[in-house]
């Protein structure tokens, strides 16, 4: 992505784009359409005593066309956690420019990666598979567990799946945001939405939120194993590896968001685990846009500079994404690969995310069991 082109996010990493206009005071509250649409009647559980586990990823359009992308973008970019300045200037930019132009462009990108068999994005396919495999793994605990999944934006919504767990008799619910590194624009907004749903309920379940797992040993081991396994399949040896995380305006870090520190710690641990230094495993940030200064170095600029410097073979990992999505399958594997080759590079490989592979599922299983302690 270039530095002036907004993208359509559907991943598990922070996507807090800075408004292209001057900051305008945001409203004190941001009403949620989903919470407002909740039924007034309480969900009636079929039986009590169950424990729910809800995996939550960022979201995705329901269809790979302009209308589907427009609806998704509208919900995503209306979140005050994502765009902090939801004032009149931003609303004019959003409704007058972004939602008129970007949906058609991004729909074409979604069509390149769309799961046509299921008529859904890969992110939705993979998150469903993660929930199903986690359910099978936790079944060995002989506990009354129910595992489900939701998207923060788009469908299935948090409200729908949270109420569904309650109806199935879940009196305790563990929410697992699928973001290794914490950010207010990802992890916190999941909690915001869960609490908006709970605010409408008289009979609330007890809720826990899984902690960020950016420094969890099982997570680092899963990244290392997946990277080594995938690189061993290649016909070339990468001269170096880029680790691309989703970017963020530097202003958000100055305000206290720990995201950058979490990314740096993930990289420190992963370099130690793989036996690589900063020159062989480089930290970069992707998907920037707008006039504000974003975290650097930028992935696309780094890819271009490496190729011009004579580097011929590059592999890219995306540790901040729990599942392959538009940002990994199209932005990295297609757009950045093109940049690399157009500037003199030869071999470019995007390493798959953990997805529902064995290392990633082992990590999710251990994370869930740790967070469920005292309940099962």
The tokens describing 135, both together, are: 């359910």
Would you state the pLDDT for residue 9? 55
Question: What is the gyration radius of the CA atoms in the chain, in angstroms?
Answer: 20
Rounded Cα–Cα distance for residues 80 and 28 (Å): 10
Would you state the pLDDT for residue 38? 56
Total-model pTM: 0.89
Would you state the pLDDT for residue 243? 98
Would you state the pLDDT for residue 25? 37
Tens digits of pLDDT across the chain (376 residues) = 443 333 445 654 454 433 333 333 334 444 444 444 555 567 776 777 999 999 999 999 999 999 999 999 999 999 999 988 899 999 999 999 999 999 999 999 999 999 999 999 999 999 999 999 999 999 999 999 999 999 999 999 999 999 999 999 999 999 999 999 999 999 999 999 999 999 999 999 999 999 999 999 999 999 999 999 999 999 999 999 999 999 999 999 999 999 999 999 999 999 999 999 999 999 999 998 667 899 999 999 999 999 999 999 999 999 999 999 999 999 999 999 999 999 999 999 999 999 999 999 999 999 999 999 999 9
Would you state the pLDDT for residue 288? 86
Would you state the pLDDT for residue 199? 97
Rounded Cα–Cα distance for residues 25 and 27 (Å): 7
Which helix H or strand E contains 371, and what residues bound it?
A: helix 358-371
Would you state the pLDDT for residue 39? 53
Would you state the pLDDT for residue 10? 60
Other beta carbons within 10 Å of 25: 9
- For the stretch 274-304, pLDDT in tens is 999 999 999 999 998 667 899 999 999 999 9
Strands (E), 223-368: 240-246, 281-286, 313-317, 347-350
The candidate with the shortest Cα–Cα distance to 293, out of 236, 259, 248, 237, is 248
Length of the chain: 376
Please confirm whether the linkage preceding 156 is cis (ω < 30° from 0).
yes
Rounded Cα–Cα distance for residues 335 and 326 (Å): 11
The Cα angle at residue 329 between residues 326 and 335, in degrees rounded to 5:
95
Would you state the pLDDT for residue 52? 98
């Amino acid at each position: 992505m270039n530095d002036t082109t907004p993208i359509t996010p559907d991943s598990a990493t922070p996507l807090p784009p800075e408004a292209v206009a001057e900051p305008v005071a945001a409203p004190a509250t941001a009403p949620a359409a989903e919470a407002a649409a909740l039924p007034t009647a309480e969900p009636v559980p079929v039986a009590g005593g169950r424990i729910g586990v809800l995996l939550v990823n960022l979201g995705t359009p329901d269809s790979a066309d302009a209308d589907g992308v427009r609806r998704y973008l509208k919900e995503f970019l209306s979140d005050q956690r994502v765009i902090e300045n939801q004032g009149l200037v931003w609303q004019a930019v959003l409704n007058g420019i972004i939602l008129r132009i970007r949906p058609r462009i991004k729909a074409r990108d979604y069509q390149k990666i769309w799961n046509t068999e299921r008529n859904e994005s890969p992110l939705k396919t993979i998150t469903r598979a993660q929930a199903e495999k986690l359910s099978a793994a936790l079944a060995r605990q002989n506990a009354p567990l129910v595992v489900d999944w939701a998207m923060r934006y788009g469908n299935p919504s948090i409200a729908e799946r949270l109420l569904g767990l309650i109806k199935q008799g879940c009196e305790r619910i563990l929410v697992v945001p699928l973001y290794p590194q914490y950010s207010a624009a990802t992890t916190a907004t999941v909690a915001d939405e869960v609490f908006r749903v709970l605010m409408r309920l008289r009979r609330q379940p007890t809720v826990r939120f899984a902690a960020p797992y950016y420094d969890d040993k099982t997570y680092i081991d899963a990244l290392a194993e997946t990277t080594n396994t995938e690189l061993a399949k290649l016909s070339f040896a990468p001269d170096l590896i880029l680790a691309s995380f989703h970017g963020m305006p530097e202003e958000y870090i100055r305000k206290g968001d720990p995201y950058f520190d979490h990314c740096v710690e993930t990289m420190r641990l992963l370099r130690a685990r793989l036996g690589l230094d900063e020159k062989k495993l480089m930290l970069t940030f992707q998907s920037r846009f707008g006039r504000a200064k974003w975290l650097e170095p930028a992935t696309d600029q780094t890819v271009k500079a490496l190729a011009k410097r004579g580097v011929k073979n590059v592999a890219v990992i995306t540790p901040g994404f729990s599942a392959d999505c538009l940002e990994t399958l199209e932005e990295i594997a297609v757009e950045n690969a093109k940049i690399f080759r157009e500037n003199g590079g030869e071999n470019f490989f995007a390493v798959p995310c953990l997805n529902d592979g064995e290392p990633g599922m082992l990590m999710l299983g251990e994370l869930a069991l740790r967070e469920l302690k005292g309940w099962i």
